Structure 1
């Protein structure tokens, strides 16, 4: 099942579809043709985090942004979320779409899910780009995290909507209200389970999965994303991978610097073209 729409800033057509899975239907949006590049969003977001990235990557590849299991328009199964179950959803999608080999990009929570997917599909993940991905080890798991990040208690007068807005306001610059609005929309669709994506990361034994990754890997981060920035050095040690700091942006880098983000994806997917864009 698919339908199409056109982006305002590109002639590239976005194709929306649903794929079957063991959990129910999974929603995805794609554009372009050629080698597949699968993009995984942070929680509690949806594919719209990549709205401005898709047509740019799709100009050279088949760019696919899925709604993570439990988020956006994808199935919302009962039971606790986990990184492993999120990865099960990705596995079902790539099988349903017939992606024998694909490039993988994950942002924040999507990056942790991408670690698990790359560890499972060593022979199918052609390259891996981890964007603002938390390095989760015993120290991170025992640290208690940062408390509740997105949770708000619904109020009869609707003031919880402003509270939700203000919880994330510091991650956005003036003029980026449209991106912040998209965050609020996505978070409201999973308001009763809005913290579970973050909580699932705190239970994930990433260090046991990293040695299984064989795909060439790039770890990137926005300069103002101080929560994730320290993880670059840890991934460099654990994976022997390259790292790259974007010129701007915060936790919503795919929306804040979409052109640079897409350019970085294309450079890494192309690999032989990467030195000019990413530096030596």
Structure 2
């Protein structure tokens, strides 16, 4: 049965947070990549909602959430997660985060350990100084509005190589367009790097999903180094790493059946995957 997913807003002192919610039972919070929105989990939410309460929020400054009046840090975003959990009366939840969402999920697990059951970190990397500089430069270039609108064509063409779907590319473009002209990337780009230093303090059961094509793409762009994902088993020894074969930057939409299967097994197990 296809579970109905509803939308709602949470009022905060910095603006409204848009979120999607559906299902009943143990909760699972989904945190999207940047730039994107909770729509990244459009295919996954109904599957998870069959047996649990699933929530996906638009991070402040992205999607249909308000633009905050100041630059948000990863710590600030972690606080908005707690605000939403409190609003929904959820004392403890599992969290799955993708790319930037994974860094936020990790911060929540460290800063608020009593609120987190398990976490799933998807496509997380350890960056060199050179990687950081390259990423900051690329973000600064990509999210500029050009008078002739060529920035839209450039992004459409760039994604077409790995999205493989006109409909999905259009969805991605709509999400990205909402953050153009607003430097939502800045707090992510600057603060997620230091967040990795917090990962060794994660103590809850942890599953790591790594898209095989996602990391290849970052390496080709000069935004990551080969082996940059090997760090995770060193800093989070209890983590179980699962490769999502063919998983790209858009793997939540493309590989949702495989991802949901692995995640559900992890959430239903008493500990980590064996």
Deviations 1:103-153 (Å, cap 9, x if unpaired)? 0000011111111111111111100100012335xx347741333243243
The 2-side partners of 1:143 and 1:102 are apart by 31
Q: CA distance change for structure 1 residues 108 and 143 in 2, over 3 Å: closer, same or farther?
A: closer
Q: 1:27 aligns with which of 18, 35, 44?
A: 18
- The range that moved more, 265-274 or 114-123, is 265-274
Q: Report the equivalent of 1:67.
A: 58
How far the C-alpha of 1:242 sits from its partner, in A, is 1.1
Residue 165 of structure 1 corresponds to which residue in structure 2? 156
Alignment root-mean-square deviation, CA: 2.2
* Structure 1, unpaired ranges of 5+: 1-9
Q: Is the 8 A contact 1:82 1:197 kept in 2?
A: no
Residue deviations 1:213-254, cap 9 Å, x none?
221111111110123784432111101111000132201110
Structure 1, residues 158-187: CA drift from partner, whole Å, max 9, x if none? 3332112123233322xx222221111011
Query: 1:52 maps to which residue?
Result: 43
**1:151 corresponds to which residue?**
143
Distance change >3 Å, CA 271–CA 235, structure 1 → 2 = same
State whether structure 2 residue 156 is matched by structure 1 residue 188: no
Return the offset for 1:77.
Answer: 1.1
Q: Could you tell me how far apart the structure 2 residues matched to 1:141 and 1:208 are?
A: 17
The CA deviation at 1:257 is 0.8
Mapped to 2, the partners of 1:141 and 1:19 lie a distance apart of 39
Offset, 1:197: 2.5
Distance 2:129 2:232 in 1: 14
Give 2:250's aligned residue: 252
1:128 lines up with 2:131 in the alignment: no
Q: CA deviation at 1:273?
A: 9.1
Equivalent position to 1:232, from 211, 229, 233 = 229
Separation (CA, whole Å) in 2 of partners of 1:87 and 1:178? 32
Residue 266 of structure 1, aligned match among 264, 267, 272 = 264
The 3-state SS of whatever aligns with 1:153 is coil
Q: 1:119 aligns with which of 97, 110, 124?
A: 110
Structure 2 length normalisation: TM-score? 0.87
Instruction: Give the alignment of 1:203-218 within 5 angstroms.
Output: 203-204=191-192, 205-218=194-207
Decide which structure has greater helix share: 2
User: What is the aligned partner in structure 1 of residue 8 from structure 2?
Assistant: 17
How many aligned residue pairs are there? 261
Q: CA deviation at 1:272?
A: 4.3
* CA shift for structure 1 position 198: 5.8
In structure 2, do the counterparts of structure 1 residues 143 and 66 end up closer, same or farther at CA, with 3 Å as the change threshold? closer
Q: Give the secondary structure class of the aligned counterpart of 1:28.
A: strand
* In structure 2, distance between residues paired with 1:198 and 1:259: 32
Deviation of 1:42 (Å): 0.4
**CA–CA distance in 2 between the matches of 1:260 and 1:132?**
15
